[in-house]
């Protein structure tokens, strides 16, 4: 009897241990080091614009690092005005050369809106490339051809490779061209075979690719796949093709049409690309369902961040919060695959802020721990703090005036640590926790 009792006791104890382990493992937790901050370079950018002056206040608020454009701007002075306007606002222009590779660009008095095809009219293509570099020098990043794996390119894959090399060779041969920054291949997706063939061609033909680029127009559930794509590019291609001297990876079009207005998509994409070491990520543009004939590529709305009347949608606030986070970031000690989290000190508010996005697709709890807190530096020596919890709701195409206050509590610092348990976090917006 005693032996049976002991065996059952051991079995019960083992079951309790397994249950406890599973329970602990199932808990979502994130730990931040709040002892010191670091400055983070922005990777955020946008696609296309018509009038930079009307966007001035929004640019000041959101502080984009890049702006990728072309948008069939055939007139030289119009392009120059946009580029000088971007540079004066400390934004790096990325020129989509294929958008401008039209006969009207060569001759502004022409009415010929047909595309110059490098494989059928090489002389005009050479003249176009020379004109672009003579006009812009090294003030822009040259994105040679947009999405050559789609209908934007009408030739064969091999013809695209030759056209890319032709543009590269012309630019590099011109005064200052050795220092030009050239990007490619800018596929519509992480098209592994296409990109591998492109890099192999470039290596064999002495083409220097400064920035490796492809597009990620997916949804939030694609984040794991995006991480794998970036890791593959860094671990395989950057090592295999060292001769190409690839300096950086850019994703010059991000976020799919179905989540184009989602603040959570913005936070999760930018957070994922930052962690992967991507240097630039420009939001792409799409049709706007609520606007008849509306398309954010052409309506000067910062890719849908702004309504037709210029008022901000909720996605605008995601970029605003991201820009605020850059100067004084906190280091994440532990991460969680179900959450995108960015912690920072906001000097103008004298507050510690945490951006939280639940990317799991269902409501989740989160245990948030702030460790190694420098009480004197961030909280004037106070050990009992007040926090507000705001929610940036996904309003889609509707206006959002400001984030909504969801919760207001007091919390104590114990041994340099704050623990906050957040319950039932929705998976369709962003939480902003503000500690003062």
pLDDT given at position 2: 52
Query: Distance between CA atoms of 128 and 130, rounded to whole angstroms?
Result: 5
DSSP string, 198-253: HHHHHHHTT---SEEEE-B---GGGHHHHHHHHHHIIIIIHHHTGGG---EEEEEE
pTM of the complete model: 0.92
Q: Is the peptide bond before 185 cis (omega within 30 degrees of 0)?
A: yes
Note the residue count of the chain.
Answer: 436
Distance between start and end Cα atoms, the chain: 62
| Cα 146–chain centre separation | 18
What are the strands of the beta sheet with 339-346, ordered from one edge?
A: 404-412, 384-393, 429-435, 351-358, 339-346, 329-334, 29-38, 364-371, 418-425
pLDDT given at position 249: 98
Under 8 Å between Cβ of 182 and 168: yes
Q: Which residue has the tokens 């032996």?
A: 3
Query: Distance between CA atoms of 197 and 48, rounded to whole angstroms?
Result: 29
Q: How confident is the model at residue 13 (pLDDT cuts 50, 70, 90)?
A: very low
Q: Which residues contact 415 (CB under 8 A, 6 or more apart)?
A: none
| Cα 142–chain centre separation | 19
| 3-class SS of residue 107 | coil
Q: Given a cut of 50, is residue 181 above it in pLDDT? A: yes
Report pLDDT digits (tens) over 81-131: 999 999 999 999 999 999 999 999 999 989 999 999 999 999 999 999 999
Identify each DSSP E strand in 39-164 by its residue range. Answer: 44-47, 66-69, 92-96, 141-143
Q: Given a cut of 50, is residue 370 above it in pLDDT? A: yes
Average the pLDDT over 42-63 and give the result. Answer: 97
Report pLDDT digits (tens) over 400-436: 999 999 999 999 999 999 999 999 999 999 999 999 9
Closest by CA to 140, choosing from 252, 241, 242, is 252
């Amino acid at each position: 009897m005693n032996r049976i009792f002991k065996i059952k006791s051991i079995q019960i104890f083992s079951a309790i241990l397994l249950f406890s382990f599973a329970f602990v493992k199932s808990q979502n937790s994130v730990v931040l080091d709040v002892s010191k901050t670091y400055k983070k370079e922005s990777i955020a950018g946008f696609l296309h614009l018509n009038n930079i002056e009307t966007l001035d206040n929004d640019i000041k608020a959101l502080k984009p690092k890049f702006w990728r454009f072309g948008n069939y701007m055939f007139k030289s002075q119009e392009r120059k005005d946009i580029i000088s306007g971007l540079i004066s606002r400390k934004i790096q222009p990325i020129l989509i050369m294929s958008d401008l590779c039209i006969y009207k660009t060569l001759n502004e008095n022409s009415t010929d809106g047909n595309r110059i095809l490098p494989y059928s009219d090489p002389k005009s293509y050479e003249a176009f490339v020379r004109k672009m570099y003579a006009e812009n020098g090294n003030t822009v990043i040259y994105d040679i051809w947009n999405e050559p794996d789609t209908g934007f390119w009408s030739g064969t894959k091999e013809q695209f490779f030759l056209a890319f090399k032709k543009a590269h060779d012309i630019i590099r041969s011109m005064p200052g061209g050795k220092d030009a920054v050239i990007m490619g291949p800018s596929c519509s997706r992480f098209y592994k075979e296409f990109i591998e063939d492109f890099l192999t061609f470039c290596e064999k033909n002495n083409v220097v690719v400064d920035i490796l680029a492809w597009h990620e127009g997916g949804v939030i559930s694609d984040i794991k796949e995006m991480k794998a794509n970036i890791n593959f590019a860094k671990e395989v291609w950057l090592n295999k093709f060292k001769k190409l001297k690839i300096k950086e990876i850019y994703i010059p079009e991000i976020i799919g049409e179905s989540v184009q207005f989602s603040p959570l998509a913005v936070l999760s994409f930018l957070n994922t690309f930052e962690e992967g070491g991507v240097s630039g990520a420009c939001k792409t543009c799409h049709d706007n369902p609520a606007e008849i004939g509306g398309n954010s590529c052409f309506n000067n709305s910062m890719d849908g961040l702004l309504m037709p009347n210029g008022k901000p949608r909720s996605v605008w606030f995601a970029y605003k919060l991201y820009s605020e986070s850059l100067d004084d970031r906190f280091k994440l000690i532990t991460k969680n695959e179900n959450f995108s989290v960015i912690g920072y000190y906001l000097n103008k508010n004298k507050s510690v802020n945490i951006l939280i996005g639940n990317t799991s697709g269902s409501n989740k709890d989160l245990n948030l721990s702030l460790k190694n807190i420098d009480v004197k530096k961030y909280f004037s020596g106070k050990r009992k703090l007040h926090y507000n919890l705001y929610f940036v709701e996904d309003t889609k195409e509707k206006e959002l005036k400001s984030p909504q206050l969801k919760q207001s509590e007091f919390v104590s610092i114990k041994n340099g640590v704050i623990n906050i348990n957040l319950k039932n976090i929705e998976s369709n917006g962003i939480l902003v926790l503000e500690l003062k």
